Amino acid sequence: MSTEPGPTAAGKSSFDLVDADRLFAELSLGPETTLLDVGSGVGNYALAAAERMGPGEGGRIYAVDLWEEGIVSLQAEAARRGFTRIVPMVANVGSVIPVGDESVDICLIATVLHDLVMDGTHEGALEEMRRVLKSDGLLAVVEFEKVDGPPGPPKHIRLNPQELEAIVTRFGFQPTKMVDVGPYHYLSLFTK
């Protein structure tokens, strides 16, 4: 096991709080889609994406997280469910995402960006997401509404849509849409 400290919110997932049907409808996943799940944890979003993409080998789902135990758990669950298109990887997304240049259709970062901002690693992560996204790629950011919780992190850590847009657009992304994806979350979509 890794001796590196785990990520800020290792083991926590927002998946059960999000309207997954609404989220994935906005992403328009197809059987040939290449999706990158940034800060995937145990892979709840990656597993749900694999279910929606259907059978086949054309598309890939790269699930990347620094938390080694989460990636091991995802590997086991993906194998148990026969999801061969999921590729789990341990990596520090603030430094390097081990995926080729312009090879990804959609980067999904679900309730992770606020932690990267807090840790000071968001710039490297956003540069990497820009690098791996295809020229017509989509950056999909799920964040908690900036209100007092629970659930979720303290209010001062959360990013409202304007703060999120100000951070992301500095890296060459253009906002295209924002929608609610549950009572506590919103989804902001950006193009490269």
Task: Determine, yes or no, domain membership for 11.
Answer: no
5, pLDDT greater than 50: no
- Does 2 reside within a domain? no
Give the domain CATH number at 54. Answer: 3.40.50.150
Residue 148 lies in a domain: yes
What is the tally of structural domains in the chain? 1
Residue 189 lies in a domain: no
Tell me which residue range forms the domain holding 74: 23-181
User: In the predicted model, is pLDDT for residue 2 greater than 60?
Assistant: no
Model pLDDT for residues 13-50, shown as the tens digit of each residue: 789 999 999 999 999 999 999 999 999 999 999 999 99
List, for residues 75-130, the tens digit of each pLDDT value.
999 999 999 999 999 999 999 999 999 999 999 999 999 999 999 999 999 999 99
The arithmetic mean of pLDDT across residues 56-71, rounded, is 92
Instruction: Please indicate, yes or no, if residue 138 is contained in any of the structural domains.
Output: yes
Three-state SS string over the chain comes to CCCCCCCCCCCCCCHHHCCHHHHHHHHCCCCCCEEEEECCCCCHHHHHHHHHHCCCCCCEEEEEECCHHHHHHHHHHHHHHCCCCEEEEECCCCCCCCCCCCCEEEEEEECCHHHHHHHCCHHHHHHHHHHHEEEEEEEEEEEECCCCCCCCCCHHHCCCHHHHHHHHHCCCCEEEEEEECCCCEEEEEEEC
Q: Which residue has the higher pLDDT, 145 or 6?
A: 145
Question: Per the domain annotation, does 48 fall within a domain?
Answer: yes
Per the domain annotation, does 102 fall within a domain? yes
User: What percent of the chain shows pLDDT beyond 90?
Assistant: 90
pTM recorded for the entire structure: 0.93
Residue 15 lies in a domain: no
pLDDT at position 3: 40
